Amino acid sequence: MHSFDRYYASQQLTEKSDVYSFGVVLFELLSGKKPVSAEDFGPELNIVHWARSLIRKGDVCGIIDPCIASNVKIESVWRVAEVANQCVEQRGHNRPRMQEVIVAIQDAIRIERGNENGLKSSSSSSSKAQSSRKTLLTSFLELESPDISRNSLAPAARSFYIYFLRPSKNLRRYGSWAIITGPTDGIGKAFAFQLAQKGLNLILVARNPDKLKDVSDSIRSKYSQTQILTVVMDFSGDIDEGVKRIKESIEGLDVGILINNAGMSYPYAKYFHEVDEELINNLIKINVEGTTKVTQAVLPNMLKRKKGAIINMGSGAAALIPSYPFYSVYAGAKTYVDQFTKCLHVEYKKSGIDVQCQVPLYVATKMTKIRRASFLVASPEGYAKAALRFVGYEAQCTPYWPHALMGAVVSALPESVFESFNIKRCLQIRKKGLQKDSMKKE
């Protein structure tokens, strides 16, 4: 929503934090979805009321991304919350549907095109045209119409369509089997359950046979018709031997989907010179070599049938933010995954193979060491559900829309501003990590 650079009757945006706050509230108002978690809200409570209660306590960090919270004026957030709250009070639960918003935006674009073509009319008809520019979107918010242009509105309309209207593809059309690496925890486990729910059979690839058995039994207990094969493969060990087992397992099967989810990051933030050789080798081996060789093993099977989908898990650290200091090798490895995927997308698009790199931000997993999901931190289940809706579309995507919103805000900030906040955050993580290491040694 940062493209709407004017939304008050008598003042303009002066802080990027306003855009962020307004975007969060606006998305909730328009979609009718309840962010954060259901337990945090009563039946009549929405994000605006929730945000106002935190603002009154002075807890700006509770509603704003920690990276920019210290630079946000409470009055700015309050002003945006007030505008949104008036909308809620005036409209209640009668919020516009996404289709209505798209139509309103398209109508505004048509009006603007008419103006650009030099359409002239009488002063009365001109006045009527101007008033018609107060579209459903702006009238709903009781705000002055923004300066409308195709360059700003078309991307907004596209984003609304992609995240709220676009239908997901039938994943079974790719084939009846799906391979998932790293399926015993976090996102990979959530992917396995989601695909089983959609009727696909599974080939689960991980290093721990006991965990593979546990997750397989859990899936079968819930989806009894699901066929499950397991492959023991240590991505930090003999990758070639593991790839050989995968090839043997998929022989004769119509494997339609590969999700390269196995990956690793730092235990905590570190300067590059502090990263030991073993960690560097594992970061490159698991994130780069593992993804590359498993893809190469599965791809020929898909090419024979001229259909398939390959989803490589990248990271917002490599695609959505300017830099990721103190995690340099991880960010570099994920940048490889991103570019590798984009190249394969172009190479095999005409062969019926959809290759995609997904670049999420924060997800509550063991790898990120984030315990609880929130509005900006996806749960593994919430992320996997959103992620599967994007399969078969863009070469690179951020399926969880709050992550995309956060990425847009970061891109609107000067790099120096974001890096300043990010360095402070990473140094705090490093300090805690060093303290834990010190306690273990004692």
CATH number at residue 220: 3.40.50.720
In a domain, 6, yes or no: no
Residue 129 domain flag = yes
Full DSSP string of 389-439: HHTTS-SEE--SHHHHHHHHHHHHS-HHHHHHHHHHHHHHHHHHHHHHHHH
Q: Bigger pLDDT: 172 or 63?
A: 172
Res 52 pLDDT > 60: no
Asked whether residue 224 falls in the same domain as residue 98, the answer is no
Higher pLDDT among residues 138 and 81, named by residue: 81
Q: Helix %, strand %, coil % for the chain, to 5?
A: 60, 10, 35
Q: Total domain count for the chain?
A: 2
Supply φ then ψ for residue 258, to 5 degrees.
Answer: -125, 125
Q: Judging by DSSP bridges, how do beta strands 201-206 and 228-232 pair with one another?
A: parallel
Residues 218 and 196: beta-carbon distance below 8 Å: no
User: pLDDT-derived band of residue 369, with 50, 70 and 90 as boundaries?
Assistant: confident
Tokens linked to 201: 């059979």
Query: Which domain-ending residue is among 101, 131, 165?
Result: 165
Residue from 174, 266, 330, 400 carrying the catalytic annotation = 330
pLDDT in tens, 17-44: 334 444 444 444 444 434 434 344 444 4
Phi then psi dihedrals of residue 4, to 5 deg: -85, 90
| Residue 7, domain member (yes or no) | no
Q: Which of 130, 165, 200 is the last residue of a domain?
A: 165
When comparing pLDDT for 81 and 336, which is higher? 336
| Domain assignment present for 317 | yes
Same domain, 224 and 276: yes
324 is catalytic: no
Mean pLDDT of 416-421: 88
Q: Are residues 143 and 186 in the same domain?
A: no
Contact, 314 vs 263, CB < 8 A?
Answer: no
221 and 276, same domain (yes or no) = yes
Query: Do 149 and 180 fall within a single domain?
Result: no
Q: Are residues 390 and 310 in the same domain?
A: yes
By the 8 A CB rule, do 272 and 222 touch? Answer: no
Q: Examine the domain organization and report whether 96 and 205 are in the same domain.
A: no
- Residue 189 shares a structural domain with residue 119: no
327 with 398, same domain? yes
Range of the domain at 112: 16-165
The amino acid occupying position 99 is: Q
Q: Are 9 and 16 in contact (CB under 8 A)?
A: no
Both 41 and 90 in one domain: the answer is yes
Model confidence at 51, in pLDDT bands (50, 70, 90)?
low
Same domain? For 234 and 337 the reply is yes
Higher pLDDT, 288 or 131: 288
